[in-house]
Amino acid sequence: MRVDRLRLVAGKPIMRDCLSLPADLVPDFPATPARVPELLFLHLVERYGIRISAVREQLTATLADTEDLRLLKLRRPAALLVIDEVGYDQSGLPVLLGSHRAITKEHCYVNEVR
């Protein structure tokens, strides 16, 4: 199953998220982005017993595409940070694929897994 959502800071869009999880591991997962909990990793452990215990990320940069320009309210050309990640559960199996496209002009990306 896939979740696309837009991250806002002070009402301004700063990041597009695309997350994929195996549907059989997360039955009854919220079908609409508005219902997806903000603290996804906490929700996964509390609701489904899935603890994301390791994350491997690859960071690159790219120019915003048409959808980025529209959703992030940017003008061409606009550079974005691209974060592609794989999240592994407590047994070492990959259970989460994520792709994030972020504006870094006024923000920095910090990832903290506890």
Residue 107 lies in a domain: no
Residue 110 lies in a domain: no
pLDDT tops 80 at residue 112: no
Residue 113 lies in a domain: no
**Residue 74 sits in which domain range?**
2-102
**Rounded CA separation 43/49 (Å):** 9
pLDDT for the residue numbered 113: 62
Structure confidence by residue, pLDDT tens digits, 13-60: 999 999 999 999 999 998 787 888 888 889 999 999 999 999 999 999
- CA distances in angstroms from 74 to 58, 81, 90, 100, 105, listed in the order given: 24, 14, 39, 16, 11
- Amino acid letter at 27? P
Could you tell me the two tokens for 90? 């407590």
Residue 6 sits in a domain whose CATH number is 3.40.1410.10
- CA distances in angstroms from 36 to 6, 9, 17, 40, 72, listed in the order given: 11, 17, 12, 7, 20
Residue 47 lies in a domain: yes
**Model-wide pTM > 0.75:** yes
Residue 114 lies in a domain: no
Number of domains in the chain: 1
pLDDT for the residue numbered 114: 63
Could you tell me the two tokens for 98? 């994520």
